[in-house]
């Protein structure tokens, strides 16, 4: 249907439904966008026109969480804004599927455990139901390939659930750029990263005491530590001194007594100075250990003198290194005490028989059991190293103390000497802080988090994990004639071989048959820390090492959206990798979203059990309404899950539907926007566009939304739309110019406001846009329409009086109030009234009085000058209202 030239055609409101049904419309538009490729990245356009988003890959096996909806919506709002400004948005989505969370979920889902010793069973069928039935028994042991297959199966399912939610939320990803962190490309790029770091000398393998989780039986990195305050107890134990004497130490870990390798106190401590240089004798095991001074010993703590064990904490490691102490590792990888024998080399004892007798009670026990038993043994007088009564000289004193845990773990971390791979980061601390300063953080104070973390870093990055579902470390070791690994000469693959699985692939120059035989080779079985791969998300998306041209176009990225709790991991490691690989920052901006709190303002988390499943909320209120809630929160600020805000969002959607229906139902002769009120409205609208655009450029979407919303309600629908209704429908021939101006301005207002709202509420804006605006510029979707700008206002003369809109509004409101005071409906006609205002205001009113009086349905009016009224204020007097019309 083409409109006659010179006439603005209207839509037929009767053809539209009475009410907008988000549940039906949203999935429909999702399909339209998918089919049209509305959000596709165009690789043909130059870098300068491209905007690259380094999207966080969610942990696919994690639960769907309102926090996801919240922060991903923030990013999507930014993406949609940038896209409308004409830039070519690269907005990929990946799934972080490797790692412990997936393994744990799979273990529970199928009730299985991975055991690399079990042979592969290609026929193995795992079912959730049967797993549930077998929960009675111990978990079934399955081979590593079977376990990985189970992981892949579960993550695919989980990813589909996420994808459904993301699609429904209207996140404008380019789904062609979907990837998995366990996928072939990610594995290749992660392994290449390792090769590159190795070549540059940033990687090494070390045998050293490492933070160790005894349940996962896996090394972890400093960034995965979590402090927890837990109950403990001081135990006062009396030690002997060789050559005579005794002293009492305080320890919270008596179960490590057998691992005691030294005793230390502060050098200035008069109570203990006489002991330095002598040998102490441990109770129970009668092991002679050196007593040495150390500045690190705090005279205020405990008794001021303490035992050094291998290893109770990080300070023990330092003492052990600096003082060349013995290594007596009694804690095994499974958290149980090792079967050691006193009397041999490194395990000296002045009474080996007694030591072994006592230790026999402890070997094989876990740490809690061992603690309980060793305390019992220390209550026996014959355990004394001094012959003066029981070594436990006082009842244990209960305390609350802070203990390091793996953030996903359940038992305290131990320090266990193991061989691990490390990326050397400590030498780069200053450089990494400087890199962080080159990045714009939003909000700015998030940079402090990064700097604090980097400055306090005290360990290199342990990147090896003794787990199964992850990217294999691409290394083999040559075996010597005795079949021992030569750790000094690891064999790395060549780049074209990547990705490799060293447990099945064969290194160059070897035959498969040489695996595991003396003179042959042996595979590294460890996998990478998941962050080793996740820290490469910009490079995974840019196809680093696979497509140089694409990489140059997409790396570094423009923006990294993320949550603040993973600044120390994801942001930090990504910055570190980009620095070590290419000497640059991985992005220009970081935008940090807050957390979602439950209605009691508590952080929503799985462990608190207060997580709400988002999809039912989306179905109840519509995605636009949920997005409105997310969009109204500023970056970095935590937001409470608030259904009242969802309702406000839903109301906005309804209002957009109805206002759009009204504005587009008006027709009239084509005419420029020329009437005073219309020009005043356009001028205010242009101000809004400038202000909202500035807010978006400052990464302040919440302000843009607030201003747009405020204008939409309190200027467009409540005011302007009411004021021009009559003129927009005036059929009189002599009113044609005014009518055409009103219709044009109504449409301009709708068109601009829809576009300003489009990043926040993409569905309803697309819906209304589709009724008539779509296709006007050859582009059907509002989400590819140009962001409002001065161009929308070209040729519109400024109003004669800049406050005309506000004058009209104030006068209209005064008449409304008079009607309300008389309990008369706003639509009732007014026979006559007198409008009072100061002379200046009356003069301004003259410019717009026609619109005000016809909108208020005033038949006759008089004006009265009243000097004591403030500028812009009106008083209504002597109003006579018409009788209510008979229906």
Partner RNA sequence: AGGCACGUAGCUCAGUGGCUAGAGCACCACCUUGACACGGUGGGGGUCGGCGGUUCAAUCCCGCCCGUGCCUACCA
| Footprint (CB under 7 A) of RNA, residues 537-576 | 564-565, 568
Q: Is 11 near RNA (CB under 7 A)? A: no
Tell me the number of residues near RNA by CB under 7 A.
Answer: 90
Q: Does 722 bind RNA (CB under 7 A)?
A: yes
Shorter beta-carbon distance to RNA: residue 28 or 228: 228
Choice from 291, 297, 592, 753 touching RNA (CB under 7 A): 297
Interhelix angle 643-665/623-631, rounded to 10 degrees, is 110
**Which residue in the set 111, 328, 449, 581 belongs to the binding site for RNA (CB under 7 A)?**
449
Minimum separation from the CB atom of position 656 to RNA (A): 9
Q: Which is nearer to RNA, 159 or 851 (CB)?
A: 851
Contact between 222 and RNA per CB under 7 A = yes
Q: In terms of DSSP bridges, do strands 260-265 and 112-114 run parallel, antiparallel, or are they unpaired? A: unpaired
SS3 assignment, position 482? coil
The least CB distance from residue 238 to RNA, in Å, is 13
The nearer residue to RNA, 292 or 477, going by C-beta atoms, is 292
| Closest to 756 measured CA to CA, from 785, 795, 780 | 785
Cβ-proximal residues to 477 (8 Å cutoff; 6+ apart), any chain: 485, 486, 487, 489, 490, 491, 521, 522, 523, 524
Peptide bond into 556 cis (omega under 30): yes
690 binding RNA? (CB under 7 A)? no
Burial readout 208-245 (b: 16 or more C-beta within 10 A, e: otherwise):
ebbbbbbebebbbbbbbbeeeeeebbbbbbbbbbeeee
Nearer to RNA, 452 or 480 (CB): 452
Residue 493 interacts with RNA (CB under 7 A): yes or no: no
* Residue of the chain from 251, 593, 741, 751 that contacts RNA (CB under 7 A): 251
User: What is the closest distance, in whole angstroms, from the C-beta atom of residue 93 to RNA in the complex?
Assistant: 25
Q: Figure out which of the listed residues 182, 220, 340, 721 binds RNA, where binding follows CB under 7 A.
A: 721
Q: What is the number of H-type helices and E-type strands within the chain?
A: 26, 31
Residue 521 sits at the vertex; the CA angle it makes with 519 and 524, to the nearest 5 degrees, is 150
130 binds RNA (CB under 7 A): no
The stretch near RNA (CB under 7 A) out of 213-221, 448-456, 679-687, 744-752 is 448-456
**What spatial distance separates the first Cα and last Cα of the chain, rounded to whole Å?**
37
Please name the helix (run of DSSP H) or strand (run of DSSP E) that holds residue 729, with its range, or none: none
Residues in region 427-446 near RNA by CB under 7 A: 445
Written as six digits, the tokens of 884 are 């209510």
Contact segment (CB under 7 A) with RNA among 73-81, 277-285, 532-540, 642-650 equals: 642-650
Contact pattern for RNA over residues 856 through 885, marking x by CB under 7 A: --------------x-------------x-
Q: Alpha carbon of 257 to those of 248, 366, 403: distances in Å?
A: 13, 14, 18
* Of 461, 463, 466, 462, nearest in space to 525 by CA: 466
With binding defined as CB under 7 A, does residue 253 bind RNA? Answer: yes
Under the criterion CB under 7 A, does residue 826 sit at the interface with RNA? yes
**Based on CB atoms, which residue is closest to RNA, 15 or 823?**
823
Residue 637 in contact with RNA, rule: CB under 7 A: yes
Query: Is there binding between residue 504 and RNA (CB under 7 A)?
Result: no
- Residue 533: CB minimum distance to RNA, A: 21
Out of 301, 321, 372, 608, the only residue in the binding site for RNA (CB under 7 A) is: 301
* Token pair belonging to 285: 């095991």
User: Applying CB under 7 A, which part among 73-81, 153-161, 310-318, 527-535 lies near RNA?
Assistant: 310-318
Contact between 312 and RNA (CB under 7 A)?
yes
What is the CB-side half-sphere exposure of residue 214 using CA atoms within 13 A? 18
Pick from 195, 194, 185: nearest CA to 544 = 185
Q: Does 335 bind RNA (CB under 7 A)?
A: no
Give the one residue of 394, 402, 517, 864 binding RNA; rule: CB under 7 A: 402
Q: How far apart are CA 527 and CA 99, in angstroms?
A: 9
Under the binding rule (CB under 7 A), the answer on residue 850 touching RNA is: no
Residues 6 or more apart whose CB falls under 8 angstroms from that of 7 comprise 667, 668, 669, 670
Structure tokens at 390: 């029981």
**Smallest distance from the beta carbon of 1 to RNA, in angstroms?**
21
CB of 387 to RNA, least distance (A): 23
Binding residues for RNA restricted to 650-669, rule: CB under 7 A = 650-651, 654-655, 658-659, 661-662, 665
Nearest to RNA of 152, 730 (CB atom): 730
Closer residue to RNA, CB minimum distance, 226 or 495: 226
Residues 727-746 that bind RNA (CB under 7 A): 729
Q: How far apart are CA 561 and CA 171, in angstroms?
A: 14
Q: Say whether 784 sits in a helix, a strand or coil.
A: helix
């Amino acid at each position: 249907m083409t409109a006659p030239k010179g006439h603005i055609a209207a839509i037929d409101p009767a053809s539209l439904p009475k009410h907008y049904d988000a549940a039906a419309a949203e999935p429909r538009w999702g399909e339209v966008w998918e089919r049209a490729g509305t959000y596709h990245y165009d690789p043909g356009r130059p870098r300068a026109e491209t905007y690259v988003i380094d999207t966080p890959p969610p942990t696919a096996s994690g639960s769907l969480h309102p926090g996801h909806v919240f922060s991903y919506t923030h990013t999507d709002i930014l993406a949609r804004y940038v896209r409308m400004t004409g830039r070519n948005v690269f907005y990929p989505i990946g799934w972080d599927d490797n790692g412990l969370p997936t393994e744990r979920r799979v273990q529970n889902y199928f009730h299985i455990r991975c055991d690399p010793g079990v042979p592969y069973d290609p026929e193995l069928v795992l079912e959730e139901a049967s797993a549930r039935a077998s929960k009675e028994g111990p978990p079934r042991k399955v081979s590593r390939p079977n376990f990985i297959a189970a992981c892949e199966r579960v993550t695919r399912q989980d990813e589909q659930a996420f994808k459904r939610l993301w699609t429904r939320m209207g996140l404008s990803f380019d789904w062609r750029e979907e990837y998995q962190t366990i996928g072939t490309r990610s594995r290749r790029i992660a392994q290449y990263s390792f090769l590159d770091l190795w070549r540059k000398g940033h990687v090494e393998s070390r045998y050293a005491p490492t933070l160790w989780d005894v349940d996962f039986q896996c090394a972890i990195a400093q960034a995965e530590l979590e402090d927890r305050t837990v109950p403990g107890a001081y135990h006062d134990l009396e030690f002997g001194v060789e050559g005579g004497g005794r002293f009492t130490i305080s320890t919270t870990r008596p179960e490590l007594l057998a691992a005691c390798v030294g005793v230390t106190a502060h050098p200035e401590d008069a109570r203990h100075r006489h002991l330095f240089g002598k040998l102490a004798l441990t109770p129970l095991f009668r092991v002679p250990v050196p007593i040495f001074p150390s500045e690190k010993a705090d005279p205020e703590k405990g008794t001021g003198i303490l035992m050094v064990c291998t290893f109770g904490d990080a300070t023990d490691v330092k003492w052990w290194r600096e003082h060349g102490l013995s290594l007596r590792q009694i804690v095994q990888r499974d958290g149980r005490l090792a079967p050691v024998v006193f009397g041999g080399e490194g395990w000296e004892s002045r009474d080996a028989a007694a030591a072994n007798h006592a230790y026999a009670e402890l070997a094989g026990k876990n740490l809690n059991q061992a603690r309980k038993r060793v305390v019992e043994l220390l209550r026996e007088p014959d355990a004394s190293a001094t012959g003066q009564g029981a070594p436990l000289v006082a009842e244990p004193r209960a305390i609350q103390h802070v203990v390091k845990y793996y953030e996903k773990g359940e038992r305290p971390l131990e320090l266990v000497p193991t061989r691990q791979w490390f990326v050397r980061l400590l030498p780069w601390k200053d450089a990494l802080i400087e890199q962080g300063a080159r990045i714009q953080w939003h909000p700015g104070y998030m940079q402090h988090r990064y700097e604090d973390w980097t400055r306090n870093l005290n360990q290199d990055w342990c990147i090896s994990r003794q787990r199964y579902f992850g990217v294999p470390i691409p290394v083999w070791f040559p075996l010597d004639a005795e079949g021992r690994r030569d750790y000094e000469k690891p064999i790395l693959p060549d780049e074209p071989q990547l990705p490799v699985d060293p447990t099945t692939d064969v290194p160059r120059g070897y035959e498969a048959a040489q695996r595991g035989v003396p003179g042959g080779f042996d595979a590294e079985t460890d996998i990478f820390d998941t962050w080793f791969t996740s820290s490469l998300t910009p490079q995974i998306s840019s196809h680093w090492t696979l497509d140089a041209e694409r990489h140059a176009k997409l790396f570094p990225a423009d923006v990294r959206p993320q949550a603040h709790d993973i600044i120390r991991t994801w942001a930090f490691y990504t910055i570190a990798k980009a620095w070590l690989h290419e000497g640059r920052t991985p992005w220009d901006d970081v935008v940090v979203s807050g957390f979602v709190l439950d209605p009691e303002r508590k952080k929503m988390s799985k462990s608190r059990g207060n997580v709400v499943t988002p999809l039912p909320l989306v179905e109840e209120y519509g995605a636009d309404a949920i997005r409105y809630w997310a969009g109204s929160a500023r970056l970095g600020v935590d937001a409470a899950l608030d259904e009242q805000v969802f309702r406000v969002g839903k109301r906005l959607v309804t209002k957009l539907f109805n206002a759009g229906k009204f504005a587009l139902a008006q027709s009239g002769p084509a005419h420029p926007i020329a009437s005073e009120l219309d020009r005043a409205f356009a001028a205010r609208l242009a101000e809004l566009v400038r202000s909202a655009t500035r807010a978006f450029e400052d990464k302040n979407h919440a302000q843009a939304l607030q201003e747009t919303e405020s204008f939409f309600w309190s200027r467009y629908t409540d005011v302007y739309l009411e004021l021009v209704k009559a003129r927009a429908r005036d059929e009189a021939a002599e009113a044609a110019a005014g009518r055409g101006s009103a219709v044009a301005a109504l449409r301009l207002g709708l068109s601009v406001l829809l576009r300003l709202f489009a990043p926040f509420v993409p569905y309803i804006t697309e819906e209304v846009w589709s009724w008539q605006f779509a296709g006007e510029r050859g582009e059907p979707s509002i989400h590819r329409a140009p962001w409002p700008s001065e161009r929308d206002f070209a040729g519109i003369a400024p109003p004669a009086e800049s406050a005309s809109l506000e004058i009209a509004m104030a006068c209209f409101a005064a008449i409304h109030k008079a009607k309300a005071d008389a309990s008369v409906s706003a639509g009732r006609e007014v026979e006559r009234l007198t409008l009072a205002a100061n002379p200046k205001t009356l003069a301004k009113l003259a410019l717009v009085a026609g619109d005000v009086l016809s909108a208020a349905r005033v038949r006759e009016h008089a004006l009265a000058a009243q000097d004591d009224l403030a500028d812009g204020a009106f008083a209504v007097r002597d109003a006579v209202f018409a009788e209510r019309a008979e229906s």
